[in-house]
Structure 1
């Protein structure tokens, strides 16, 4: 019996170890975690479990000349992500340049999450506010306006910080700035790599760690909204329905999230929670044995930036290995040819993700198109393709900006007169050459005229 007990105990120990490993891989305790409900007189606890400090508790982080705050009892917003709505009931207003400064205990990437909603104030019309927000190195917002009161504005960034992170709010001349809530939170090192595959295909893009990123789209393909309460990094994942350009060609697939497996050395719940991998869109049945179409999602983006794109995959549609092989395209350029998830994960229902950097030159219509489609001439398996999730992040441009062509010093860093510096230099050289040629021609013309005048005088004298 003692042997049986020891045998049982060893099984329990292994189970506890397994649970500990699973828990550690899906949880993260940020070294820095500043959550401020600006303008609030009391702490604000959200339904997702996060606790935001009151304005008074956070005053030590703020440097501003005037103490201007506003609050309301409710706002006319019906938002599917209702957990964060309490943050938009109060705001702090800045009539001049103001700064939030945070001590950073662990250098690395940090979330900067900014919440905006123009509340009423007897002296300031926040719907007309125009202002910029910068760090010491990156322009986050330039001449930003939250607009009317029809919707909240949420901005999310990934910024490297060491020792101190400062946020500068700079109102436009004659205007004001405001902020409803601020989040400065450490990010796991594994979240963003230093390199990614290039699109168009070329050597890998390296040096991602030196860029600041703005999260533009985080989409749960085939599923509903995933709230910060479910995501271990308090992220929000939106439904793909507004972005699916060919819904009649796609079919939703869903499995129990608990059946999703994370492979050793690969995707973890910090990369994406299991509900992302537990839903997908696959190709709907076509009236042909060789369907010739792609599943497509289109997302709006800005010109003049490269983009970091992460695609999430998990084979929750196949009955056996090696039945699902498909192609991946970004802006109609090949990103992955003949993607075989089985060869990469060696199992079904196993999370996988792929990272890309899309070159700015490929963005011609203000959008990014992600497509998946069957690989032609398959020898086995039914033609099919899937996608489970996608993320799109903007990289800062040469001006060090995520919003326009002005640097943190307020100076314009972009092309002059719509021309790049290279084109401007070429144009300048061309102008100088043209001017030299013109002056030379003019000098020759004047010299010829002088000769003609002298000749006229000579012949007139001879005739006399």
Structure 2
């Protein structure tokens, strides 16, 4: 009998387990690029060290540029720039191996000393991962590229590679900070691709709240409001309520920590609630554009700051139209404590992924009238590196390096390596097509991961094809 082909959406659900203690990173590098100043204080009262007075810079040829007329509304870290005309590295000694946050700051100004025939287009890598490929910065607001990398060596090397001989690379500031080990689980892998991922933050959203700045986040992150991503239908504003909570967020052992999400994110939310005796027949919907060809880690943050009593809120959660939580009861997940945060992770597989990720929160069959029928406090989406260890296209590091080599056997060797990378891509594509013909909608669950019951009060980590 022919089995219909099911186009899978890979979902992984993980419950946070964190100890509620103050986090002190072992590695904490804040580098202001293009200056010899020993201390540069940014708008969030953090002290950056100039790369000209730090041993981390390893450049064969670079320029230090200073803006003679800086915008007073810009942080001082954007007043200077380091420019590279050759591949160059920043090398950071790692005290404690494990997950690290890497933030790279870019602000394009006038590069008058570079030459009219040169242009800024470049690649960035870190310990074998391609972070940026053919990156172009445009004039306007500063851009911060935010990454999460598992460092298994004693050194983290961030490399800037001009795209060609007429290009240059630049950077304004770099942050390398040890991350809490429970921030992102390291077991989000496909059963047919046992690879270790790097992550790039695509969206970090405070639902129903205002912008949260690094000064109000223990990991110095930005959280933006959700308004631009909320999909509104006629009359939906009447039942989509914003809520701000002035009480205390109850972080607890076994729940989300302040490093997972700050108070200023969890103390706001967007609600869907009954307008009268009837339960709304609609969901709250958020839509996020994404690039195809990558898996994405979607994290949903919940904290019941709306209920006056436990056991009063039940709702369903959907990711790209798939029911991932049915009759979700937050009180049963937080030891029957109100205003206690909880988060859940879902990995969306790239196969047959459209160009958006859609999240829906709405009433369930257990929802009650005159009560809250859905809540969401925050949302994060990370892009996951592909089989080429790239976060920006089907390209491996050897291909990028080969374009900056000249002549002889080395160039031919690197070109051959690039060809091997392309063959690996073709092999993986053919393998996926072959597996898709035989799939029945399930992927093999890792042996160290138990099965999942989405209706359970205590969902367990799992990998599920839907």
TM range (shorter): 0.7 to 0.9
Work out whether residues 77 and 150 of structure 1, in 8 Å CA contact, stay in contact via their aligned partners in 2.
no
3-state SS of paired residue (1:176): strand
* Equivalence for 1:349: 339
**Aligned partners of 2:299, 2:194: CA distance in 1, in Å?**
13
| Cα shift readout 1:18-48 (whole Å, capped 9, x = no counterpart) | xxxxxx9353221111111101232211232
* Equivalence for 1:270: 259
Q: Greater share of helix residues, 1 or 2?
A: 1
CA gap 1:420/1:211 in 2 versus in 1, 3 angstroms: closer
TM-superposed CA distance for 1:86, in Å, is: 2.0
* Equivalence for 2:34: 39
Pairs within 5 Å for 1:20-59 = 25=20, 27-42=22-37, 43-58=39-54
TM-superposed CA distance for 1:62, in Å, is: 1.7
> Would you say 1:295 and 2:284 are equivalent positions?
yes
3-state SS of paired residue (1:342): helix
1:66 to 61, 65, 90: 61
3-state SS of paired residue (1:360): coil
**Aligned partners of 2:252, 2:433: CA distance in 1, in Å?**
53
TM-superposed CA distance for 1:54, in Å, is: 1.2
* Equivalence for 2:300: 311
- Higher relative contact order, structure no. (Cα contacts within 8 Å, ≥ 6 residues apart): 2
**Aligned partners of 1:75, 1:371: CA distance in 2, in Å?**
44
Work out whether residues 375 and 383 of structure 1, in 8 Å CA contact, stay in contact via their aligned partners in 2.
no
TM-score w.r.t. structure 1 length? 0.77
3-state SS of paired residue (2:228): coil
TM-score w.r.t. structure 2 length? 0.77
**Aligned partners of 1:401, 1:372: CA distance in 2, in Å?**
32
**Aligned partners of 2:332, 2:296: CA distance in 1, in Å?**
28
* Equivalence for 2:270: 281
**Aligned partners of 2:347, 2:432: CA distance in 1, in Å?**
28
**Aligned partners of 2:423, 2:209: CA distance in 1, in Å?**
43
| Cα shift readout 1:195-253 (whole Å, capped 9, x = no counterpart) | 46x9xxxxx98999921111111111111111111111111111111211226241101
* Equivalence for 1:422: 430
**Aligned partners of 2:396, 2:423: CA distance in 1, in Å?**
13
CA gap 1:398/1:67 in 2 versus in 1, 3 angstroms: closer
* Equivalence for 2:408: none
3-state SS of paired residue (1:182): strand
CA gap 1:35/1:383 in 2 versus in 1, 3 angstroms: closer
Work out whether residues 273 and 374 of structure 2, in 8 Å CA contact, stay in contact via their aligned partners in 1.
no
* Equivalence for 1:129: 120
TM-superposed CA distance for 1:381, in Å, is: 6.2
Computed over aligned residues only, the root mean square deviation of the Cα atoms, in angstroms, reads 2.9
Q: Which runs of 4+ in 1 moved over 6 A?
A: 204-209, 415-420, 423-426
Larger Rg over CA atoms: 1
**Aligned partners of 2:304, 2:323: CA distance in 1, in Å?**
21
- Where does the alignment leave 5 or more consecutive residues of structure 1 unmatched? 1-23, 199-203, 427-464
- Where does the alignment leave 5 or more consecutive residues of structure 2 unmatched? 1-18, 400-417, 435-466
3-state SS of paired residue (2:60): coil
